[in-house]
Structure 1
Amino acid sequence: MDTRTSAQDVMRCDVCETAVVQMHCDTCLVNLCKACVGDHISTGETKDHKVVKFQDRKSTPLYPGCTSHNKQQCTMYCNQCDIPVCTKCLASVEHLGHKLSDILQIAEEKKDIIIKEVIELRETIYPTYHDIASDVQNRMSQLKKEYGDLSTGITKHGEDWHRQIDKLVKKLKAELDEMKNTQLQTLQKHLDEINKTMSEIGDEIDSVEMVTDTNDLSKLLSVTSMASVINTYRNLPQKLEPILPKFIPGKIQELDKLFGVLSSSSLTSDKHGYSMKTTQKSPEAGSSPPVKQMLDEPETITTIDTGCKYLYNVACLSDEEIWTSGSDRTMELYSINQGSLLKSITTKSGKIPSDIAVTKSGDLVYTDNDYEDGTVNIVKNKKIKKVIRLQNWKPLGVCSTSSGDLLVIMDSDDYKHCHTKVVRYSGSTEKQTIQFDDKGQPLYSGYYNRYITENRNLDICVSDWGARAVVVVNQAGKLRFRYTGHTPAPKNQPFSPRGITTDSQSHVLRADYWNHCVHIIDQDGNFLCYIDCGLSDPWGLCSDTNDNLFVAEIRKQNVKKIKYLQ
């Protein structure tokens, strides 16, 4: 009996093929029993066999071999060349001055990205296709039923026509019989009159022949002339010629038009007909939120004094805590209800953060506009990790999306041309770049102090200070609208956009620095109202899950919590 192919519930050694597996060679990916370990190690002397317990298999990293130096393993990764490198590579001039990373770290980051992508495939994309397949099957079943109903309708219409035709045929035959009987009756009456005349003529002939056949001259002489009688019968009766009716059939060729015709069938295509299924539990991914009405008069709930000389940015960690940053190198976490400082984080470079945001998992993210290279950093357990390092670009605004991606708006180092773009990242991997409209024109102006956020409908909203506009594109990067302010403004000053945020109603809220107010527009760019409740120099904006608005007043060093929805 072949133990390799027979039914069994345990794994067998790949060498002896009989004993139960107890060990595993991570180098050769071979399952072994303890007795065969020695035999396996003795084979392939050039290999460094890593034999571990079977339950610990795949725990030993297998470094890639160097393509430039034979038999060398690559333990480092050259970020600039984007390739694994060995120790000999590091000593060569080819990678001199290049930025290097531990290959295990790169692999771990890559693994995290792949895991996220697999999760997206498994939990979002595959279920969406499954739903689409079910929808198509349902449509096919419905289509068969509806075509069956049409066929039944045609059959029923045909039966109705048959009944009507039978009635019509019966009616025409009845009319034909009536015409026939009328003509026959007329001809019969005419025939009867002719037969009567013939009988009278016969009687006249018989009477005259009787006289002429006798020898009695007195009888013969008594007969008068027959001329008048003959003249009477010389006037023959009129001839009756029956005219038959004609049956004029309708044209068979036109029967289909009279009976009914089918309109043409088609299949329409709508590339936006399906939307991606999502399992996220964020407000953006849930069912439609309840409709909230605007308050007639927004009210300030609380004011938090940060003491920062110039307060630029604010981001909600929760409904109880907010992060702030300003003109120094620290980012501070405050209790909203108590107004007390809970935590302080200093940027790794010692530079002022351009913008801050909070991820879905509650980690702080900030952009660092360093002179040498721009970075996007994440703070986990008070440790700062560079997630994205940019070359020739400087990061400005950042936000975390409902899908967990990061949206970063950045300027190029080429200040003569002032290129600006929005880039979507999954981890440190670039997924999407948004820079030009359909006509190849730049979407954004080339000036600093831009902020970015994602609306509930997945639109990407950018506050463009240089263009004095709010630029909104859809998820694919196609321009939806530009909002350039509303008149009259509270202070009659030009629109001066700064911080930006959105709420559960898909409203876009925009700080107007010169007019000391916040604009509220709907998801299509229509102006709704101003929030003007004693604000002074509003700059940074954010909102919590209850649609409370937080406004950073740059010169007053305050963060105001404002209620504007019922």
Structure 2
Amino acid sequence: MEPVYCSQINVKICSRCKEAMESHCHTCQQDLCRHCKESHTINLDTKQHDVTVYRERMKYTPKREVCASHPRQVYEMYCESCNTPFCVSCKEHKNHETLNLRTAYEDKRKQHYEKIGKLKDDTLYSLQILRLGLKSDIRDDAKTIREEIEHLQSAIGKMFQRMNYLMDDAIITVKDDATFKYQCLLREQSLKISKRNTMLNRYEEKLERTANRPVQFLKLVKKVSLCKFQNTPSLPQGYLCSLSQDIKTEDMVKLLHKIRIEDRGKRQVKKERLLRCMTSPVLQKTITMTDLEFCHHISNVECDSVWVGDTTRVALVDIPSSAILHSLAGVPHSHGTGSHTLDNQRNLNIINNNASIIKVSFDMQTRTNVFQRKDPAWEMMCVHFSNSTLDLLIGMYNRDLKIGKILRYSTSGKLIKTIQYDQAGKPMYRIPRYLTENNNGDIVVSVWRYNEPGCVVVTDAQGRSLFSYRDSPQELYLVPRGICTDALSHILVCDRRTETVHLIDKDGQFLCYLLTKELPGIKEPYCLSYDFRNHILLVGSRLDNKISVFRYINRYALDGAPD
């Protein structure tokens, strides 16, 4: 798309509005003003687009900059050993590792823009949402402080009725002082966030001013470190008031000094203030996997690719291009359920012949047998790697006893926990087919036998039963298949009987049918995977070899974030 020009003063304007254009999106070929660029980089559908300052689109010839040591020469090369540009007369770099100046400039500029982009995608967005919430926190927390101190006033009044006339004046002083100090604290936090945003914006402006000035850019990135931008400033979350038990009845002033203000820790932005459910899911694309007959399970690699498996093989699929990157055969799993998972090093852990777990390295060069079942009566049904505890969760089934259990193993292979019975001593699992973990540590298991109703069993991390989800308000029973959880701690489950995907909250309450068979891309959904990096849902079908990619969660716009 060519830039649009204003009729009077020949100023390039934004493709979306009438403001002056500053940046260009190479992915969707749009010119963007500062505000539209901010919206473009916040939206989850476009945050990974290639957006640069407009002058870089024009591919200007870099200016030849004069060497500081040899004014008659210009910089032509870059020394990787010394991290500095040099000219042909600079002999001290003769035996060092060197690069062409233009190559060094483009490589390092790309690296820094990737880092800046990540900071703006995540850290800066979270800080801006946090700052928007400070206003309501000042109002709400100040009110809470007053209410807590008033509660303490009542307690003190009952204990010291003889000193009420002294208490009234002292309490008013303490309330006003505590409220004033807390409001000052929150204003200080707001200033810290503003200062951090200003520093990052100034750094970005310096980067933009060095476009096509390789030497200035390389000197800038050598002098300024990104480390000071990467950590969120430490912001106390707030304070709690309490009354010391050591009460001196002789002196009311000493009594009031026993009121303590305690730090509640670092202020955090809740996911509910960053993300929202959309009014309806949107199908983004459909991926066809030529090496597979159907989709029984999906494991997300969190780098734009997923492992997908049926009963005979698994394949690594690139989501943007739909290309098959790798195909792995020779690891049959007769049950075809949640048979593989990715660990924190992106290695594939896969059940082999229901009897062992094989680890396949990310580079596909090595295979290691990491777990072998000890009792042949128990078959391995499903497996899940916990990113919070780094433990391996394995679902087992005993055909003779017709019961299942969940085993938790440490990274060293030590059995930590066996989860099998509820608090009343009753078995919780028939056949555990799919296994995952929620953000709060709850263990979520899809349980069923063929041609029978099933349920989703949820326990806490210690194995205490929390609830079993068996149907929605409109259904008589559930035939569950694949499950997953999302960034808002929802639980999603495929229902084979109705060909729908249920959305329930972390406490087991049915919220809605997120996906139904009337939607495009839904054909007997069988397995699910949520991509926490891009916030997309991948849905696999049992009837064909297609994966449908949906978005149903997006970010709040900065002017629409909740208080």
Q: Output the TM-score relative to the length of structure 1.
A: 0.47
More contact order relative to length (CA 8 Å, sep ≥ 6): 2
Q: Which has the larger radius of gyration?
A: 1
